[in-house]
Structure 1
Amino acid sequence: MKRRNFIATAAAGSAGLASVSGFAQDNTQKEFKLKNNINHSVCEWCFNDIPFEEFLQTLNELGVKAIDLVGPDRWHILKKYDIYCSMCNGAEISLTEGWNNPRYHEQLIKNYTEIIPKVAEHGYTNLICFSGNRNGMNDYVGLQNCVDGLSKIIPLAEKHGVVLQMELFNQQNHPDYMCDNSLWGVELCKHLGSENFKLLFDIYHMQIQEGDIIRSIQNYHPYFGHYHTAGVPGRHEIDETQELYYPAIIKAIHATGFKGYVAQEFIATWDDKIAALKDGFTRCDI
């Protein structure tokens, strides 16, 4: 190809890419109807500039019946709108102060002992937890500390049918966090040996930290109880502006027989945030 023709072709291609996001936004104005082969959810914090009840009403209009990361103080509002809490929170201390450090065990055991029965009482299943930061601790020591602490509450979770889910984070966004790779998390699951402890596999975090997302899903899916989405880089929309191809990832999740929830956890950059959310749901609705 001659240089001038190559430059003209490349320029046209760049213009096409620049219009992708706008095209996607226009596309979301078409009729929105989910097939629901995947159980869809959304993380509330990403859209918390929208009044909570207004957002729940919007989810009802979209036919999305679940939301992530809502605590006990607002579960009664979810009941009002018939929205399921697909990932409960409120028992943790913080992302950095978690089960890998015995100094937090007493408080964490108290918190989770109080909230696990409440999760079950409201008809929910999943309750989030965190490893905490290393702070110089060896990963093997931290893993054993997690086993020692979590073993104290897993019988209660089993009794009430509640599944504790530890989220995987990357080191760029959460420096020093211990549960930062699939293998460490899977090893923790194996040590605990309970179906009531799983990993929350955050696709955004694990693409940054380790990549090979579909292979991880295929190899370790028995240990993954929940999924979060977002675009890489930037944790924005899961459209063509980022590097992950979510339809293939969701198909891989579906092929494992997964019956849990996939929650959108991206920070919208579009002017119309609900249009961005609809676009994300559509891309995951295989």
Structure 2
Amino acid sequence: MAADAAGRIGHWRLVMRQSFTWWSFTMGRDVEPEAFLRDAAGAGAQGVEMLPQAHWPIARDLGLELVTVTGHKLEEGFNDPARHEGLQGDVRRMIDTAAEGGALAVIVFAGNRFGDGDDDRAIAACVEGLAPVAAHAHGAGVRLLIELLNSKVDHPGQQCDRTAFGAQVVRGVGSPALKLLYDGYHMQLMEGDLSRTIKANFDLIGHVHTAGAPGRRDLDDRQEINWRGVAGLLRHLGYDQWVGHEFIPRGEPIAALKEAVALFDAPGREA
């Protein structure tokens, strides 16, 4: 591996840092990108996710890491062998774009169920399709993240809707470049038991997303996840990857982001 690629992988071995997703904090709002990104950095965010590529230079100039980008449409994923060739090309190109632009990770998906929807078959297909892409990512110094999504509300039909499914894919590929994107909002809707699940799969988790459940709003007392307890658990386990806030603020977004960052920065106890 090239020296610069090794250095990029090393970014993931720092202390737990916090980011926010561009889409959720700006949805339905008329924002000026530079001012918004500057205010987000002032609120304590150290990175931004899924940022339109046109804004990447602004984020870099402000000292914000480009943490994640999306590799392909989430409905059409690696669970379908017929899509492998096209998806592999798309994701390889995005990996190269990420490496060139300084983005740390590319998000990939299993896709919607089709045919008989058999999970074992789909897991095997994901392993087969993602293995060569993971090798490409490893060589480029970019992380791949397979995201866990809920199929109950936001993504009907999505097959990777349980932690066990994604965990089997990651173990099957067996590459340090592929990890789970553990989204607490999605998994609260599908299976609950977040703390026990995080502990059981901690070695596979490369990224965490937050949002209040069930409404995907702020991390406050109007939702059911004890995010302070989850933060304490992650700290107790020695989590040193990114936590990305992917909720839709009820009110002023920068104030909501500042509160979320403070919640994860505060000393906490294991849940």
* TM-score where L is the length of structure 2: 0.86
Question: Contact 2:43 / 2:254 at 8 angstroms: preserved in 1?
Answer: no
Which protein shows a greater Rg?
A: 1
Give the CA deviation at 1:70.
Answer: 2.2
Would you say how many aligned residue pairs link Structure 1 and Structure 2?
Answer: 248
Equivalent residues in 2 for 1:40-189 (5 A)? 40-48=18-26, 49=29, 50-89=31-70, 91-92=71-72, 94-136=73-115, 137-172=117-152, 173-189=154-170
Give the CA deviation at 1:250.
Answer: 0.7
Match of 1:253 in 2: 234
Q: For 2:93, what is the secondary structure of its paired residue? A: helix
Distance, in Å, in 2 between the alignment partners of 1:60 and 1:174 is: 30
Question: Contact 1:95 / 1:130 at 8 angstroms: preserved in 2?
Answer: yes
Match of 1:238 in 2: 219
Distance, in Å, in 2 between the alignment partners of 1:76 and 1:180 is: 34
Give, as a single letter, the amino acid of the residue that structure 2 aligns with 1:152: P
Give, as a single letter, the amino acid of the residue that structure 2 aligns with 1:161: G
Match of 1:273 in 2: 253
Question: Contact 1:38 / 1:285 at 8 angstroms: preserved in 2?
Answer: no
Deviation string, structure 1 residues 40-91 (Cα, Å, up to 9, x no partner): 11011012223322211102322322011125443223222221111122x3
Match of 2:6 in 1: none
Distance, in Å, in 2 between the alignment partners of 1:155 and 1:51 is: 38
Match of 2:8 in 1: none
Question: Contact 1:120 / 1:161 at 8 angstroms: preserved in 2?
Answer: yes
Deviation string, structure 1 residues 204-252 (Cα, Å, up to 9, x no partner): 0001100010111111011110011111111011101111111110111
Q: For 1:100, what is the secondary structure of its paired residue? A: coil
Q: For 2:146, what is the secondary structure of its paired residue? A: strand
Match of 1:28 in 2: none
Distance, in Å, in 2 between the alignment partners of 1:51 and 1:167 is: 29
Distance, in Å, in 2 between the alignment partners of 1:235 and 1:132 is: 21
Match of 1:197 in 2: 178
Question: Contact 2:77 / 2:112 at 8 angstroms: preserved in 1?
Answer: yes
Deviation string, structure 1 residues 173-216 (Cα, Å, up to 9, x no partner): 21111111111111111110111101100000001100010111
Structure 1 runs (4+) greater than 6 angstroms displaced: none
Give, as a single letter, the amino acid of the residue that structure 1 aligns with 2:137: A
Give the CA deviation at 1:264.
Answer: 0.9
Deviation string, structure 1 residues 10-38 (Cα, Å, up to 9, x no partner): xxxxxxxxxxxxxxxxxxxxxxxxxx964
Deviation string, structure 1 residues 107-155 (Cα, Å, up to 9, x no partner): 2111122221232233332111111001232111111111111122121
Q: For 1:147, what is the secondary structure of its paired residue? A: helix
Kindly, what percent of the aligned residue pairs are identical?
33
Question: Contact 2:51 / 2:66 at 8 angstroms: preserved in 1?
Answer: yes
* TM-score where L is the length of structure 1: 0.82
Coordinate RMSD, CA, aligned: 1.7
Q: For 2:201, what is the secondary structure of its paired residue? A: helix
